[in-house]
Copies of this chain bind each other. A is one copy, B any other.
């Protein structure tokens, strides 16, 4: 009988998160205060985050101990299985060996709880009563609702009004876990009231929802704010994915030639690839680490490396990132998790130093890949995950053309049970490729008015 799943025991859940900063040849540049353009210290983040997470955000320690209480919760779905994609290999008639790590087995259905759980834990430890956040498509809001419920911390999710109306099942999932979900813009905040006074029918945006969530956290000592990607500590939490994957590849008796993950703000990609990248940096391995972004939002492949705001309206510190500009509005593709204008500081520095690679896949190619995957492997993937599958298929087809074996590993970051309307649009021929023209990219970049990276930086 063929082996399909390579599994681990619960006592093989990693005991530490891996912080790649320790191994980076060039460390990420510091965030800047937008007013003074000077580097900000950890204390500037204290109104929004608990101290333990701020310490992780600025840490240069290679390994960060995972609290027992967090590992206990991780056992609800971790270690996640790694699959050998026998069905997909057969469908592609490729000599490549294709593996995928499946993060959709978490209760929230994606990799997001890997960081939501420790974030809820550290907030609880420091006496926080309520965590606020924003959510667009709903993956992150679901994960944080789940995590807060388990630690008995309140959860207040500002959900972009148009998603709130179009994705009632996501909202209900959050309610089932006890979260309060508020359509944004709302009457609950100054920011929301201002928008509503100008446009009572506003469909909302992620930028507005962030403003509301941050305002609530900043104005109440017992309330903090939480982010699902981009920041260093978030990426670090996700490295349990790649650490497990290394053990599983060892059990399979192979080392990947290429490691692939979809790219939104960086947490999905970092989660799988950073532990493999450590093998390159510390042990001289030569594993290609490939981030896959949508052609509609190509910050890694076509953006510029400079300081920019993390949010759309310019409330955050300035972060060093590959960006299309914080005002860039990407097309409304179904992979909502990949519609972010910039890349986190860690990934951006690594790309700048040519230690990782990136490519872009258009929406139709991504859904072709997802449907082929569902029909050969069974699991129906999330639209975000389809981007990683598409690149894995490209690699496998090249292996076939070259007539040589290649070992491919990708992150199947979530299932598509709440995204079936995207598949409906695909089957109805209603999806677009959304390739940006050169002019589109130049226009976006020309509007960026935030500081450049100093010429003296490495």
Residues of chain A having any CB pair with chain B under 8 Å: 1-5, 7, 9-11, 68, 71-72, 75-77, 83, 87, 105-107, 109, 146, 149-150, 168-169, 172-173, 175-178, 371, 374-375, 377-380, 417-418, 420-421, 423-424, 427
Task: For the complex formed, measure the closest distance between the CB of A225 and the CB atoms of chain B, giving whole angstroms.
Answer: 23
Report which of B4, B9, B107 forms a contact with A378, defined as CB distance below 8 A: B107
A219 to chain B, nearest CB (A): 28
A150 touches B417 (CB 8 A): no
Please, could you name 25 A-B residue pairs with CB atoms under 8 Å apart, sorted by A?
A1-B68, A1-B72, A1-B75, A2-B75, A3-B10, A4-B72, A4-B75, A7-B9, A76-B378, A77-B378, A150-B378, A168-B420, A168-B421, A168-B424, A169-B421, A172-B421, A172-B427, A173-B380, A175-B423, A176-B371, A176-B374, A176-B380, A176-B427, A177-B374, A417-B418
A143 to B156, alpha carbons, bound, how many Å?
A: 36
Q: Bound complex: CA of A118 vs CA of B9, how far in Å?
A: 29
Q: In whole Å, how far is A313's beta carbon from the nearest beta carbon of chain B?
A: 32
Contact indicator A420/B172 (Cβ below 8 Å): yes
* Contact B10–A1 (Cβ < 8 Å): yes
Contact call B168/A417, Cβ cutoff below 8 A? no
Q: Which of A3, A177, A378, A418 gathers most chain B CB within 10 Å? A: A378
User: Which one of B75, B169, B427 lies within 8 Å of A5 (CB-CB)?
Assistant: B75
Bound complex: CA of A159 vs CA of B247, how far in Å? 45
- Compute how far the CA of A83 lies from the CA of B77 in the bound complex, rounded to whole angstroms: 10
**Which residues of B sit under 8 angstroms from A72, Cβ to Cβ?**
1-2, 4
Q: How far is it, in angstroms, between the C-alpha of A35 and the C-alpha of B164 when the chains are bound? A: 57
In the bound complex, do residue B3 and residue A380 qualify as a contact, i.e. CB atoms below 8 Å apart? Answer: no
